[in-house]
Structure 1
Amino acid sequence: MFDPADFPKPTMISVNGIELEVFECGQNNVGRPIVLCHGWPEHAFSWRFQMPALAAAGYHVIVPNQRGYGNSSRPKDVTAYDIEQLTGDLVALLDHFAYETAVFVGHDWGANVVWSTAMLHPDRVEKVVALSLPYQQRGEIPWIDFIEGFLGSDHYMVHFNRRPGVADAILDENRHQFLTNLFRKNEPNMAPEPGMMMINLARAKDPVGEPLMSDLELSVFDSAFEASGFTNSINWYRNLDRNWHLLEKVNPVIQHPALMIYGDRDLVPKSPNLSDFVPKVDVVCLDAGHWLQQEMPVETTGVILNWLRQTSEV
Structure 2
Amino acid sequence: MTNAMNKKNNSIEFPSSTMISVNDIELEVFEAGKQNKDKPIVLCHGFPEHAFSWRFQISELVKAGYHVIVPNQRGYGKSSCPTEVKEYDIKHLTGDLVSLLDYYGYKDAIFIGHDWGANVVWNLALLHPERVRKIVNLALPYQVRGKKPWIEWMEEIFGEDNYFVHFNRQQGVADAILDKNNSNFLRNLFRKNVPLTSPEPGMLMINLAKAEKPLGEPIMSEDELAIFISAFEASGFTGGINWYRNLDRNWHLLADVNPIIKHPTLMIYGEQDMIPKSKNLRDFVPNVEVVSLDCGHCIQQEKPKETTQTILKWLEQHDVKKGYGTQT
- TM-score with structure 2 setting the length: 0.93
User: What's the CA shift for 1:186?
Assistant: 3.5
Is the 1:3–1:216 contact (alpha carbons within 8 Å) kept by the matching residues of 2?
A: no
Q: Relative to 1, partners in 2 of residues 1:296 and 1:142: Cα closer, same or farther, differing over 3 Å?
A: same
**Match of residue 67 from structure 2:** 60
**Match of residue 284 from structure 1:** 291
Q: Deviations over 1:224-246 (max 9, x none)?
A: 00011111110000000000000
Is the 1:152–1:195 contact (alpha carbons within 8 Å) kept by the matching residues of 2?
A: no
Is the 2:182–2:233 contact (alpha carbons within 8 Å) kept by the matching residues of 1?
A: yes
Q: Deviations over 1:80-127 (max 9, x none)?
A: 000000000000000000000100000000000000000000000000
Q: Relative to 1, partners in 2 of residues 1:191 and 1:299: Cα closer, same or farther, differing over 3 Å?
A: farther
**Match of residue 4 from structure 2:** none
- Pairwise mapping of residues 146-295 of structure 1 onto structure 2 (< 5 A)? 146-189=153-196, 196-295=203-302
RMSD: 1.6
SS at 2:191 equivalent: coil
Q: Relative to 1, partners in 2 of residues 1:218 and 1:147: Cα closer, same or farther, differing over 3 Å?
A: same
Structure 1 spans left out of the alignment, 5+ residues? none
**What is the alpha-carbon distance in structure 1 between the residues aligned to residue 209 and residue 50 of structure 2?**
18
SS at 2:124 equivalent: helix
SS at 2:19 equivalent: strand
Q: How many residues align?
A: 314
**Match of residue 17 from structure 1:** 24
**What is the alpha-carbon distance in structure 1 between the residues aligned to residue 130 and residue 202 of structure 2?**
38
**Match of residue 142 from structure 1:** 149
Q: Deviations over 1:136-157 (max 9, x none)?
A: 0000000001111111111001
Q: Relative to 1, partners in 2 of residues 1:152 and 1:309: Cα closer, same or farther, differing over 3 Å?
A: same
**What is the alpha-carbon distance in structure 1 between the residues aligned to residue 289 and residue 160 of structure 2?**
34
- TM-score with structure 1 setting the length: 0.97
**What is the alpha-carbon distance in structure 1 between the residues aligned to residue 11 and residue 227 of structure 2?**
7
SS at 2:117 equivalent: helix
Identity of aligned residues (%): 66
User: What's the CA shift for 1:187?
Assistant: 3.4
**What is the alpha-carbon distance in structure 1 between the residues aligned to residue 301 and residue 267 of structure 2?**
16
Q: Relative to 1, partners in 2 of residues 1:281 and 1:155: Cα closer, same or farther, differing over 3 Å?
A: same
Q: Deviations over 1:199-225 (max 9, x none)?
A: 100000111010000000000000000
Is the 1:103–1:125 contact (alpha carbons within 8 Å) kept by the matching residues of 2?
A: yes
Corresponding residue to 1:89 among 85, 91, 96: 96
**What is the alpha-carbon distance in structure 1 between the residues aligned to residue 48 and residue 170 of structure 2?**
19
SS at 2:62 equivalent: helix
User: What's the CA shift for 1:189?
Assistant: 1.6
Segment of structure 1 superposing worse, 272-281 or 181-190: 181-190
User: What's the CA shift for 1:193?
Assistant: 5.0
Is the 1:186–1:290 contact (alpha carbons within 8 Å) kept by the matching residues of 2?
A: no
Structure 2 spans left out of the alignment, 5+ residues? 1-7, 323-328
**What is the alpha-carbon distance in structure 2 between the residues aligned to residue 303 and residue 260 of structure 1?**
10
1:39 equivalent in alignment to 2:39: no
Segment of structure 1 superposing worse, 280-289 or 190-199: 190-199
Code of the residue aligned with 2:194 in structure 1: it is E
Q: Deviations over 1:258-285 (max 9, x none)?
A: 0000001001111010000000000000
SS at 1:49 equivalent: helix
User: What's the CA shift for 1:3?
Assistant: 4.8
Code of the residue aligned with 2:209 in structure 1: it is A
**What is the alpha-carbon distance in structure 2 between the residues aligned to residue 50 and residue 197 of structure 1?**
29
Is the 2:12–2:55 contact (alpha carbons within 8 Å) kept by the matching residues of 1?
A: no
1:69 equivalent in alignment to 2:102: no
Runs of 4+ in structure 1 over 2 Å off? 1-6, 190-195
